[in-house]
Structure 1
Amino acid sequence: MADEKPASAGGSEPPVAPKTDGAPKAAPKQNPFFKMMGMPNFRFKLPSRNWMIFWTIVGSWSAAVYYDRREKKRIQKKWADAVAHLAREPLPSNQMQRKLTIFLAAPPADGLLNAREHFHEYVRPILVSAGLDWDAIEGRREGDVRAAFAEWLRKRRKMAGEATKNTVPDTELEVMIEDMRNKLGVKEWDGPAGDIVIGRNTWKEYVRGLHEGWLGPVDMPEEVEKALEEQSRPDGKPDEQKMGDPSSSAKTEDTLPAEESTVVHDSEQMRSIDEKKAEEKPKEDEKPKKPKQPPPFISTSAYSSAPLPPSLPSELGPSAVIVFPHLLGFFNTPIRIYRYLNKRKLADEIGREVAAACFARYRPFEHSSGSMATSPFVEDSASPTAAPHQEDKSSEPGDRDVWEQESLLKKEELDWHKSVRKDRDPNKESVWNDDMVLDPRIAGRMRRFYLDEADVERGLALVNAHKREAEEDVSW
């Protein structure tokens, strides 16, 4: 027909474009509820690509930090609840509370504040929950903990009656407190007190001070006194005479002529003298300076020839070694981020060790004799016993006893700053850099806390029972 259009060659019609009148597309209708609230008609859509990247990173980081901190609190609460029943145990009125000793030292190339924060964050909450008391031995420099611990042991030996040139005076505060307690009938804690050592560097100083305190002499040797004098006089020159020395002033007056030696009392001179006296008074009121760190009283090579003191007990106090990861450096940022997001694992490891110290179950340190190839600690303690600056050719490194004390926290030495090894003097002893040296007589008497899972389950069961009783009382 004439009205019919011819078909296309392909047999299909071309697509017809939609009819548009030029008006914009109407916005979707708003929810009546939101409209009655007076809220604008938002059009929900996905954010842009850059905003998606930003919110994904921020959300993932926030979620990871929140999850880690929540699990960390839960784990710390678990260990705190496990030892909480110890604080409710009755204690006689004439018996002192159990007191632990905390050994704390500044990490290499850093200050003491980080070590204190580590103690307050991980160790202190569990000790408080167990109702335990503690003393602290701190060190800001290498060797401070060693010197303080060795001096404390020597003082104990003197108080036990060992022969010494310088006896402990009765006016010392510690002696006066002990005498007062004996008069009042106050007794010490019957069981073992124990020590908590934080960090590998502190642990090495602890072991060195333990050997020095028990195997070294009670009195200061002459070579140590000479070393202290050299430290006080670094130039090696004798101290100059002070201006206020009467002998020096008398000599100067004798050498001066008669006219110059006569003293003229002037008002201005008297004022200057009074001002000098006023300035000298505050200096006299200042606290005495802390004594410098003395060198060790005994070298590591003299351990075997040193006699045992009569006051040495058959078992030394048990100890717990707490991990203290501390890593510095910009290029170690990925490792530091990983550790920052996994503090829950660190809290669980530290909580286990502190709970073991609270329950006061201990065992001897393990050791293996013979070839180091069959030693269970060969991976962590493959270094020789003697220090690098000492020459000990009597025993080969393969035929010696390997003690468990050597391998504890040895991996932390890999995180130490390079300045610790760079600034080292090879002719002097360095407790941090030298290998740990152990005497079998001391190492065999050392004890270590261990955790029995039955104690943890019993402690948690007591806490749950106490909570149920409290809920029943509230319901009544």
Structure 2
Amino acid sequence: MSSENAGPPPSAPLESKAPLPKPPSGFRTALRYTGIPVSWLDKRPKLPSRNWLIFLSVTSSLTGYYIYDRRQCKKIKQHYIDLVKHQSEELVDSLAWPRKVTVYGSKWPADEDYDQAIKYFRKYVKPILVAAAVDFEMISGKRHGDLAERVAEDIRKRRRYDLGIDEIPEIAKALPTYKPPAEAAQHKLDGGIVIIGRPTFKEFMAGLRKGWTDPLDKVDHEELLSLELENDGAFDEPEDPSDDPHSLSDPDTKSNTPFNARNSPVYSPLTQLRPPVSQPTTRKSSIPEALNAPPSFIPAVPPLLLVTFTNHIGLSQIPIMIWEWFNQRHKVRSGAEAGYRLVVKNSRPIIPPAISTEPQSIFADITTPALPVDGDLGDLDFDKDAEGWFKSSLEKIPADTEKTRKKYYEKLPERLATARALARGTREPTKEEVENPPPTEVELSAERMKKELRWRRDIAGWEMIKPSTNVVWDERFRDALRVFVDGDSDSSKDL
């Protein structure tokens, strides 16, 4: 074949040009040089796993509910503060007394923190009173019955001043803030009394009746108890020295006749459960009988602000505690409404209970409390549902106290014998007694006095506030007590 017939050489196939990679952005380049893996930068967002979805849903729901509740708390509190703050802007004299109220809060049963009622007042009611420039005095009871004793003692002091038995000190009259008794009494009536919870209400009413009924003589309860206990035989000297286990000189005799508290003259089985009540010494009162008699009429008492309060205690009530923690707005609203009722000073007479028609003596309204008919107690039914949250073990308080008293009196003879033996030098103290000296006879007597006072007051206090006990009522309270109530206009309608 000739070269002339040869065609032109075939052209090389066209190469396909691949798209150039997109250069990374400056942000990705900067992150790549920081050591972050490139795979992290190329990840696409995707739905989390089922477990993560459950976790995020629950936590976000609880967080949102908590934030909503706390915002509502601030809104409610600020609403009531705005309603009353104009009273704090009023001009008054520099020596004028501000309106003042007395706040009572007793110990909640089975709670070691006796100040819970006062803490409730500080958190939910106090902000409204502070915004309205209302002063307050807080009084709490550390044990059951303390508040009743405080109220009764204050009333007895007032009666003694009103009857002229005691006189106001001259130094108090010289103060620039002194006001005559009539003016001071009117200032108290313009204030009010705040009652936190049903146990406080029971103690207050019991103390109120006791203060207006008991004699005006100043009584030393410790002295009366010492007179009662001195003849019960618990601290009598043994008649036979051989009855003292530490006075036996023969070691064989000591080992063969072990000390038995029941064989000791110091021991008395009747004193284990309760020391015998001795007849108190009759004392002639220095106050005339006409002044010492209970009055047939009680002057007006400052209006009462009844604040509902429930303190949940125990493992079984933990779900309710959790629910309340996420619903604080209900407590804020209740406390703010109570404070607003006190500030606006809208009150009504107390609704008395229905009185039983059983025949009573002509002095029954003074000497004994009236018997209300069940189911129609009027305002005495205040916050009665809160007693349903009391722990059932509280009913054992009297039995537990008696058991503790019995154990104490069983060990007392041996402790007393040890104290007397060491004091008289009839035996040498042991190594343990040298390091920790046992109490002396005088210290044992003082210890016994304190324990008896505490045991008796605990039982009396529980009997006063237990659910089966009604609120004390006296017919003289009918015209003396008033209760703060809501006004005609609803202050919470805008919320």
Interval of TM-score (by shorter of Structure 1 and Structure 2): 0.5 to 0.7
The alpha carbon displacement at 1:221 in A equals 6.3
Residue 437 of structure 1 aligns with which residue? 472
Distance 1:404 1:37, change over 3 A: farther
* 3-state SS of 2:465 partner: coil
- The answer to whether the Cα contact below 8 Å between 1:200 and 1:408 also exists between their aligned partners in 2 is yes
The alpha carbon displacement at 1:233 in A equals 7.5
- The answer to whether the Cα contact below 8 Å between 1:230 and 1:236 also exists between their aligned partners in 2 is no
Residue 219 of structure 1 aligns with which residue? 217
Residue type at the aligned position of 2:133:
G
Residue 357 of structure 1 aligns with which residue? 342
- The answer to whether the Cα contact below 8 Å between 2:95 and 2:177 also exists between their aligned partners in 1 is no
Superposition map of 1:38-437 within 5 A: 38=31, 40-110=41-111, 111-161=113-163, 163=165, 167=166, 170=169, 176-177=171-172, 180-181=175-176, 188=184, 190=187, 192-220=190-218, 228-229=225-226, 237=234, 308-309=294-295, 312-313=298-299, 315-367=300-352, 369=354, 398=373, 402-424=376-398, 429=460, 430-433=463-466, 434-437=469-472
Distance 1:233 1:349, change over 3 A: farther
- The answer to whether the Cα contact below 8 Å between 2:194 and 2:304 also exists between their aligned partners in 1 is yes
The alpha carbon displacement at 1:397 in A equals 6.2
Q: Per-residue CA shift, 1:377-401, capped at 9, x if unaligned?
A: xxxxxxxxxxxxxxx9999865x89
Distance 1:58 1:203, change over 3 A: same
C-alpha distance in 2, partners of 1:437/1:196? 18
Q: Per-residue CA shift, 1:405-429, capped at 9, x if unaligned?
A: 3210111111122332221369964
C-alpha distance in 2, partners of 1:30/1:107? 73
Distance 1:395 1:215, change over 3 A: closer
C-alpha distance in 2, partners of 1:116/1:56? 38
The alpha carbon displacement at 1:312 in A equals 3.2
The alpha carbon displacement at 1:195 in A equals 0.6
Q: Per-residue CA shift, 1:123-153, capped at 9, x if unaligned?
A: 2211111111111211011001110111011
- The answer to whether the Cα contact below 8 Å between 2:353 and 2:379 also exists between their aligned partners in 1 is no
The alpha carbon displacement at 1:184 in A equals 8.2
C-alpha distance in 1, partners of 2:368/2:484? 35
Instruction: Report the structure number with the largest CA radius of gyration.
Output: 2
C-alpha distance in 2, partners of 1:371/1:119? 36
Residue type at the aligned position of 2:391:
H
Distance 1:195 1:396, change over 3 A: closer
Unaligned 5+ runs, structure 2: 1-21, 33-40, 238-291, 358-366, 403-455
The alpha carbon displacement at 1:97 in A equals 1.0
The alpha carbon displacement at 1:371 in A equals 8.7
Distance 1:371 1:93, change over 3 A: same
C-alpha distance in 2, partners of 1:214/1:124? 30
C-alpha distance in 2, partners of 1:309/1:214? 7
- The answer to whether the Cα contact below 8 Å between 2:125 and 2:338 also exists between their aligned partners in 1 is no
TM-score (structure 2 length as normaliser): 0.59
The alpha carbon displacement at 1:105 in A equals 1.7
Residue 259 of structure 2 aligns with which residue? none
- The answer to whether the Cα contact below 8 Å between 1:105 and 1:139 also exists between their aligned partners in 2 is yes
- The answer to whether the Cα contact below 8 Å between 1:356 and 1:451 also exists between their aligned partners in 2 is yes
- Identity %, equivalent residues: 28
The alpha carbon displacement at 1:113 in A equals 3.8
The alpha carbon displacement at 1:116 in A equals 3.3
Residue type at the aligned position of 1:440:
E
* 3-state SS of 1:180 partner: coil
C-alpha distance in 2, partners of 1:339/1:234? 54
C-alpha distance in 2, partners of 1:345/1:159? 44
Residue type at the aligned position of 2:226:
E
Do residues 446 (structure 1) and 487 (structure 2) align? Answer: no
Unaligned 5+ runs, structure 1: 1-28, 241-305, 373-391, 461-476
- The answer to whether the Cα contact below 8 Å between 1:87 and 1:131 also exists between their aligned partners in 2 is yes
